[in-house]
């Protein structure tokens, strides 16, 4: 059972988030490694025109504000209001 636990845990070392880093690597130095860019990269331009991305934008802003300590990414102020269903 111990071997099974070790084998199932090893892939966790490979998890990496560009804005936060991973187990062995720090955060990315690229300009597009902010929370906003990371979460908004999933949306196509026509979906952004419809406003479908606003929930992801709000989530990224909240993730920056909930992070403790030093904040590396710059939060872009949003002139858009979130839809009522969010």
Each residue's pLDDT tens digit, 63-73: 777 766 555 55
Over residues 11-51, the pLDDT tens digits come to 999 898 777 788 888 877 776 667 777 777 778 888 888 88
The count of structural domains within the chain is: 1
Q: Is residue 1 part of a domain?
A: no
What's the chain's length in residues?
86
Q: Is residue 73 part of a domain?
A: no
State the pLDDT at residue 45. Answer: 83
Q: Is residue 9 part of a domain?
A: no
The residue range of the domain holding 48 is 30-65
């Amino acid at each position: 059972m111990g071997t099974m636990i070790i084998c199932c845990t090893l892939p966790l070392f490979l998890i990496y988030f560009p804005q936060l880093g991973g187990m062995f690597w720090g955060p990315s130095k690229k300009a597009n490694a902010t929370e906003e860019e990371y979460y908004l990269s999933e949306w196509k331009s026509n979906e952004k025109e419809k406003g479908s991305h606003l929930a992801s934008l709000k989530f990224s802003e909240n993730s920056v504000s909930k992070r403790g300590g030093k904040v590396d990414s710059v939060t872009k102020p949003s002139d858009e209001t979130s839809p009522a269903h969010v």
